[in-house]
Structure 1
Amino acid sequence: MRDMAHVVTAGVDGTPQSAAAARWAAREAVARNASLRLVHVQVAESALDQMVVPDEDDATRQRAEQLVQAAAVELAARFPGLSLDTRTTVGEPAWVLTELSRTSDVVVIGSRGLSSLGGFLVGSVALPTVAHVQCPVVLVRTDTDSPSRDEALATGPGDQADTSRRIVAGVDVRHPCDELFAFAFEAAQRRSVPLEIRHGWEPRPYYGARPMPLAGLALEDLLDERADALAKMMQPWCEKFPGVEVDARAVLEQPASLLLRAAENGSLLVVGRRHRPSRFGAHVGPVAHAVMHHSRAPVAVVPHT
């Protein structure tokens, strides 16, 4: 059972990416009127490391505590009045963050820079964290040669430059995704920005039991059906959030490409993933996996039933 108190959890490890994530998380905590929890996980090199509590004089532990305290001091100066606590622990970062997600509204982590293939390196911590956390997780990245980039992407109340920056949400009309709608609409309302909802669909070359090319007219009819399904899914959320400006479309395009293009200048890209009861594996779905690796905007991955 989740705590009633609202908490935003951010993982910090001393990298520029985790610093950007911590600042994004602080803004989110202020916007949500929540507390911020900064967590540094010292990677256990063996099972014995997780069973033994290091001495207070242990140099590694001291460095970890100094790191997280330095981050806390910086954020406290930037965000006066922010309720903030810190913790350090030893273990597997992904599983520690997954456990903390049970008492968090959002988990925020940094993602590394561009790889040689032109995509982002999601890494051994982010991918299993996204696959197993119990709450939405946001991946934030920053260019090391542009320290202010993360500030432009981390929107929050009162950020005049970001008031016109939209939030983009990708929806699969074949599955219920109320959790995704709730997160996206609340985020747009909190920031007073437009919300673009997109459903992408790319049919197979042949359709039906007997392999026949799908005629253009049939394509339009099927796309209209999906647009109608999207409108029906959205209706209760538009009624619940009448102040949110919404642009919803079903588009004949590969979903990940559609979302990446739509969110190119956006402040946040929201996608979903199905709940997975198993602790093993790091499957998040092809669309979420693609946007995690290639979106330049922060990516929120929302687990849903």
Structure 2
Amino acid sequence: MTTGERPVVVGVDGSAPSLHAVDRAADEAALRRVPLRVVYASLWERYEGTALAGDHKPAEEVRADDIVAVAARRARERRPELAVSAEVVAEEPEYVLVREGRAASALVLGTRGRGSVRELLLGSVSLAVAAHAHCPVIVVRGAGDGVGAGTHGPVVLGVGAHGKDSAAVRFAVAEARLHRVPLDAVRAWRCPARESVEHPLLSGEPARLHEEHAAEALEEALADVPADVELRRRTVEGPARDVLLDAARDAGLLVVGARRTHGHLGLQLGRVAHGVLHRAACAVAVVPEPE
């Protein structure tokens, strides 16, 4: 993957999940040999206005400065060789991060911001950014997702319909090489129930054909994977979301392509990407595919 000097960008908000995202982002930037950019975005003026004059900053702005300073220091301590910059932006975080992603090699975010209920569901900012960003978005779950020397699990790739031209495949291969871990490529398949019902004497034949088609699609998508990547292939019967969640239980990263749809609420992620972002046990990378 050619990224040039495009930085890895991490969005922070002072929460524990966002600090775990800083750790992941620092590692990703160091492995790519690109800078790390720490960004805090908030519309604090909406709440505090301009009542405080002179040299005094609004309390929320002071807090934002502290948040990015702590995050940048954490990244430098984790990866001393890393070039780190930090900025506070007085705008909606979703807009800021999507804009930052236009010039980034990847965006890294935590699962949820402060004040959210204690559950697995993804925060609204991370979900919105994953739905609109023009670069890969890595959403970090839990305390580090196995990040660290010798503890990074395999990269699990959900192989979709884009074949060997898939941006998700290229990203997953690059991640496996950077972290020196195996790449587990998984293709889910399903046999429509009506085929077995209409042909009760041939109930095994449709399933075999669907599995063969899945295996062929898997081979086509992985045709250009370099020999230095340890590649493990699997075809599994079942709904794609459930298959990928099960495959990624011990993974360091789950990679899926972004198949966006235009609905009445605007641009939205496909069901598989949306589902794994909400429920995966490991970090999830959503990679936009060319339209």
TM-score grouping bracket, smaller chain normalisation: 0.7 to 0.9
- Alignment-derived partner of residue 58 in structure 1: 58
| Separation in 1, partners of 2:76, 2:123 | 29
1:78 offset after TM fit, Å? Answer: 2.0
Q: CA deviation at 1:203?
A: 3.2
Residues 29 and 48 from structure 1, CA distance in 2 versus in 1: closer, same or farther, beyond 3 angstroms? same
Residue deviations 1:125-164, cap 9 Å, x none? 011100000000011122xxxxxx31x5224xxx1233xx
The separation in 2 between residues aligned to 1:135 and 1:184, in whole angstroms, is 13
Say which of 158, 161, 164 aligns to 2:151: 161
Contact 1:56 1:62 in 2 (8 A): no
Confirm whether residue 24 of structure 1 aligns to residue 24 of structure 2.
Answer: yes
CA–CA distance in 2 between the matches of 1:108 and 1:182? 18
Query: Which residue does 1:135 correspond to in 2?
Result: 135
Match of 2:222 among 229, 234, 240: 234
Matched to 2:124, the amino acid is S
Deviation at 1:55? 6.8
* Structure-1 separation of matches of 2:199 and 2:47: 57
Identity among equivalent positions (%) equals 32
Question: What code does the residue aligned with 1:192 have?
Answer: R
User: In structure 2, do the counterparts of structure 1 residues 42 and 181 end up closer, same or farther at CA, with 3 Å as the change threshold?
Assistant: same
Could you tell me which residue of structure 2 aligns to residue 194 of structure 1?
A: 182
Cα deviation, residue 43, structure 1: 3.2
User: Contact (CA 8 Å) 1:131, 1:276: kept in 2 or not?
Assistant: no
Specify the code of the residue in structure 2 equivalent to 1:186.
Answer: A
Secondary structure of the equivalent of 1:103? coil
Aligned to 1:12: 12
Query: Superposition pairs for residues 100-111 of structure 1, below 5 Å?
Result: 100-111=100-111
Provide the aligned length of Structure 1 versus Structure 2: 282
Kept after mapping to 1: 8 A contact 2:130/2:137: yes
Inter-CA distance 204–218: structure 2 relative to 1 (3 Å threshold)? closer
Q: Name the CA shift for 1:290/1:277 in 2 (closer, same or farther; >3 Å).
A: closer
State the Cα distance separating 1:289 from its structure 2 match.
1.1
- Choose which of 208, 222, 238 in structure 2 pairs with 1:220: 208
Q: Alpha-carbon deviations, 1:173-201, whole Å to 9, x = none? A: 36665211110001001111110001112
Match of 1:170 among 148, 158, 164: 158
Partner SS, residue 186 of structure 2: strand
- Relative to structure 1, the CA distance from residue 216 to residue 46 in structure 2 (aligned partners, 3 Å threshold; closer, same or farther) is farther
Read off the aligned partner of 1:161 and give its amino acid letter: T
CA pair 139-177 structure 1, distance change in 2 beyond 3 A:
farther
Please state whether the residue corresponding to 2:90 is helix, strand or coil.
Answer: strand
Q: Distance in 2 between matches of 1:106 and 1:231?
A: 27
Q: Which sits farther off after the overlay, 119-128 or 105-114?
A: 105-114
Change (3 A) 1:212 1:55: farther
CA shift in 2, pair 1:66/1:278, >3 Å: farther
Distance 2:235 2:189 in 1: 8
User: Following TM superposition, by how much is the alpha carbon of 1:229 offset from its aligned partner in structure 2, in angstroms?
Assistant: 2.0
Between the aligned partners of 1:55 and 1:103, the Cα distance in structure 2 is 33
1:24 corresponds to which letter in structure 2? Answer: R
Contact 2:159–2:221 (CA<8 Å) still a contact in 1?
Answer: no
Question: SS in structure 2 opposite 1:96?
Answer: helix
Structure 1 portions without partners, runs of 5+ = 143-148
Give unpaired runs (5+ residues) of structure 2: none
8 Å CA contact retained: 1:108, 1:137: yes
3-state SS of the aligned residue for 2:42?
strand
**1:24 positional shift:** 0.4
In 1, the alpha carbon distance for the partners of 2:289 and 2:80 equals 34
Asked if structure 2 preserves the Cα contact closer than 8 Å seen for 1:112 and 1:141, the reply is: no
Whole-angstrom distance in 1 between the partners of 2:11 and 2:100: 10
Give 1:297 deviation, angstroms: 0.5
The corresponding residue for 1:89 is: 89
- The amino acid that maps onto 1:190 is L
Q: TM-score, normalised by structure 1?
A: 0.83
In the other structure, the counterpart of 1:292 is 277
For 2:60 and 2:31, the matched residues in 1 are separated by 34
